[in-house]
Structure 1
Amino acid sequence: MLTVDEIRQAHERIADTLSPTPVLPEGFLSSARAQRVLLKCELFQHTGSFKPRGGLNWIRTAEDAELSRGLGAVSAGNHALGLAWAAQAVGVDVTIVMPESASDFKVQGTRQLGAEVILHGDINDAWELMHRLVEERGLTLVHPYDDLRIIAGQGTVGLEILEQVPEAGTLVCPVGGGGLITGIAVAARALRPDIRIIGVEPEGAASMRAAWTHQGPYRLNSVETCAKSLGAAIVGTYTYPLCRQYVDALVTVSEAAILQATQHLLTRTKLFVEPGAAVGIAALLEGRLPDPLPDGDIVLVITGGNMGLDELAALLPSK
């Protein structure tokens, strides 16, 4: 369904606009292990997350007929920002439906990029409304994760990691709908068949785990997690089989660990991250990664840093 060559082509397609993000050492966790822990800092990408990679690759491979109808998407926020930013450059209208619980920071940021944002229900309600809008308005749906052009764009993160960290032994990646981890996994497995790839989900939004259990995409009745960027209720028809084929293990982390990890990154590592970006750190703190890990560096993907000050205040310990 997707090859490393297609991911390389996506990288060439977007490289003039999107620069590689840095890999930084995580000294506190490294000192407690025999292996270095490194952070792939996608919070420093345009719009504050990895999402513009897929959005820009989609825009630059779209046909005129797809663009002329206007674009529609469902998003907790980061896909909205990434797609709106990519579409703005070519003057294409974008309509985004977000859950009512979406971050106001992300809502306002998406509107500032020129997109129409509609807040509606929970994530399942948002999808129902978007499907109606596609029918009524003729919009072209740009799926946040279950689209091979999107996945190929996100997979460029994997190419960069292996170039920046040739001694990587384990890649740890947050999982929402699965677009990022599957893109990374396809790229990494082709170039380094021996590398270990581990996905991390919140316990309250473990949609990929549910898919593995049910041997296909399985919709969660509800999603309950502070890691809103990982709040997909169902994974995709592309992301499930790709994940099953290329990812070695999935682990889940508790809400308490996500909170602790976010605070750790804010205070110890000095990175302004949103909770969904911190689940890899949470897995280390809770001891959820499978042992033994291969020799080599452990690389955690820090997916984004889009969070308002009100959200930050809610994460800080009360006096």
Structure 2
Amino acid sequence: MIDLEIIRDARKRISSHILSTPLVHSPSLSHVCGTTVGLKLEHHQTTGSFKLRGATNAILQLTEADRARGVIAVSTGNHGRALSYAARAVGSRATICMSRLVPENKVSEIRHLGADVRIIGGSQDEAQQEVDRLVANGLVMVPPFDHPDIVAGQGTIGLEIVEAVPNVATVIVGLSGGGLAAGVAAAVKGMRPCAKVVGVTMERGAAMKASLDAGKPVQVEEFPSLADALGGGIGLDNKLTFPMCRALLDDVVLLTDSEIAAGIRHAYEQEREIVEGAGAVGIAALLARKVAGLRGPVVLVLSGRNIDIELHRRVINGVKNPLGEMV
């Protein structure tokens, strides 16, 4: 388990390298829910997602020798961008392995940061095989979620939430490999044990939900989704985020792509925020009234903004199948 002390240490380490993002009141969602709702604007983070927190915390704890060897990771896009940025900042170089499901806009942004990009297979699990091969050849792996430095870095969001809303009752956060959800839950419950933390993910290919239901990590088939950043497996040898999510999450909510699209539209039309599908799942869960026993104050983590702008335009315009031939 990652505890409050470890997360506080991570905040001291990364504070000069990341943004402490705003937490703002949402009148529209407060009206929908009948209680106070706040938005943690983590999509305003440098590199456009929360991932920079964990990647920076991990990079800063590598030895000079390890930085010189270069770092490598599998990614659905946002971790790769964050790791590439953090590596470049300390004079290291990143190699990022991704599947064909990763949107091209995320791939190109990683290339612009000077990373060696490798597109491997049709799933994150297949891309991980290339990571394993290159680690055996000397590169240093910085995984996207199942690592104590990553979880602790993401957990700094939870510290900021409770400091901004000391009486927070419900925190809603996107759920994929579990780095964000586990870190935020550890911080929030460490400071406010009575608070409820809810993970939200897409209906098809939800690896952590399937694993929690099975009582152990399992593999799932990956599908294209508006919440592409939530895709991928959790690893059959998952050592940290699975047990933490099992112990700390109070519920997991599943969403259809139509519900996620509604969340993206609401963010744009009512909150004046551009968010990607994974960043909109908290809004979507509230709009779909899928959070059972909702108590306020509520805080949603808007986790990322790195959506292809043409895809965003199709969603906002109400295109019935915005993913087109991908679906």
TM-score tier (shorter): over 0.9
Q: 2:208·2:233 contact (CA, 8 Å) conserved in 1?
A: no
Whole-angstrom CA distance in 1 between matches of 2:115 and 2:204: 30
In structure 2, the partner of 1:228 is 228
Q: 1:94 is matched with which residue?
A: 94
Task: Give the SS at the match of 1:24.
Answer: strand
**1:207 matched to 2:215:** no
Indicate the SS of the match to 1:232: coil
1:47-196 to 2 correspondence within 5 Å? 47-122=47-122, 123-135=124-136, 137-196=137-196
Q: Which residue of 1 aligns with 2:246?
A: 244
Tell me the TM-score normalised to structure 2 length: 0.93
The residue aligned with 2:324 is: none
Distance 2:216 2:275 in 1: 31
Corresponding residue to 1:256 among 249, 255, 258: 258
TM-score, normalised by the number of residues in structure 1: 0.95
Amino acid at match of 1:275: G
- CA drift of 1:234 comes to 2.5
Which consecutive residues of structure 2, in runs of 5 or more, have no partner in the other structure? 321-327
Q: CA–CA distance in 2 between the matches of 1:318 and 1:161?
A: 35
SS of the residue corresponding to residue 205 of structure 1 reads coil
Q: What residue identity is the alignment partner of 1:276?
A: A
Which residue is equivalent to 2:313? 313
Q: Indicate conservation of the 8 Å contact 1:223/1:233, yes or no.
A: no
**Long gaps (5+) in structure 1:** none
SS in 2 for 1:197: strand
Give the AA of the match of 1:242: M
The residue type equivalent to 1:84 in the other structure is S
Equivalent in the alignment of 1:276: 278
Structure 2 counterpart of 1:290: 292
Contact 2:185–2:248 (CA<8 Å) still a contact in 1? Answer: yes
Q: Distance in 2 between matches of 1:204 and 1:141?
A: 28
Q: Is the 8 A contact 2:32 2:287 kept in 1?
A: no
Cα-Cα RMSD: 1.4
Equivalent residue letter for 1:20? S
1:92-142 residue CA offsets vs partner (Å, 9 max, x unmatched): 11100111121222111111111111112222221122222222x311111
State whether residues 74 and 143 of structure 1, in contact with CA within 8 Å, keep that contact through their aligned partners in structure 2. yes
Conserved? CA contact 1:25–1:38, under 8 Å: yes
Q: Distance in 2 between matches of 1:219 and 1:159?
A: 32
CA contact (8 A) 1:223 1:232 kept: no
What is the distance in 1 between the residues matched to 2:19 and 2:90? 20
User: Amino acid of the residue matched to residue 263 of structure 2?
Assistant: A
Shift of 1:51: 0.6
In 1, Cα distance between equivalents of 2:214 and 2:276? 30
What is the number of residues matched between the two proteins?
316
- Work out the CA distance in 2 between the residues paired with 1:119 and 1:244: 32
Amino acid across the alignment from 2:176: G
Deviation of 1:232 after TM superposition, in Å, equals 2.0
AA aligned opposite 1:262: I
Amino acid in the other structure paired with 2:312:
L
Question: Paired residue for 1:26?
Answer: 26
Q: CA deviation at 1:223?
A: 3.2
Partner AA of 1:91 in structure 2: G
Q: 1:215 to 1:127 in 2, by over 3 A?
A: same
* Secondary structure, aligned partner of 1:171: strand
Q: Alpha-carbon deviation of 1:204? A: 1.1
